[in-house]
């Protein structure tokens, strides 16, 4: 069965500094990988996905993520953090089969300090 690990419950970054939110996955076969962001009392907003192709994926709001097959990681990054980036971030994985349910990590709360 597929699973996702987000090792950090919370990440604190000063505004203007680069940020990284970590994610590792476990899945048989080729993974589909996703990042979502959630603001308080809101649903999830899609940030980016990796399906195939270039390992570096660019998404919304200046975020990007790098797929590393050997390390089974898909870390989320941004070169310069904004206070408005403060939110809850979820990494997720699914498989390219008919059983295409998405499994979420437990989430990482990102605090951008002004």
Partner 1 sequence: GAVVSQHPSRVICKSGTSVKIECRSLDFQATTMFWYRQFPKQSLMLMATSNEGSKATYEQGVEKDKFLINHASLTLSTLTVTSAHPEDSSFYICSARAGLYEQYFGPGTRLTVT
Residues of this chain that bind partner 1 (CB under 8 A):
32, 36, 41-46, 49, 51, 90, 94, 100-107
Toward partner 1, which CB reaches closer, 78 or 89?
Answer: 89
Within 10 A of 47 (CB to CB), how many other CB atoms are there?
20
CB of 53 to partner 1, least distance (A): 13
Please report how close the Cβ of residue 16 comes to partner 1 at its closest, in angstroms.
28
Question: Which tokens sit at 73?
Answer: 């990681």
The owner of tokens 């990284």 is: 20
* CB of residue 82 to partner 1, shortest distance in Å: 22
Separation between Cα atoms, residue 93 and residue 86, nearest integer Å: 23
Six-digit token string for 48:
């980016």
């Amino acid at each position: 069965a597929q699973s996702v690990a987000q090792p950090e419950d919370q990440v604190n970054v000063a505004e203007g500094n680069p940020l990284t939110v970590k994610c590792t996955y476990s899945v048989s076969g080729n993974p589909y990988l996703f990042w979502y962001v959630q603001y308080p009392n809101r649903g999830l907003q899609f940030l980016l996905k990796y399906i195939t192709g270039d390992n570096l994926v660019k998404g919304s709001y200046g975020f990007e993520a790098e797929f590393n097959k050997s390390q089974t990681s898909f870390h989320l990054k941004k070169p310069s953090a904004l206070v408005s980036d403060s939110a809850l971030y979820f990494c997720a994985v699914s498989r390219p089969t008919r059983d295409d349910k998405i499994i979420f990590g437990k989430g990482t709360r990102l605090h951008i300090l002004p």
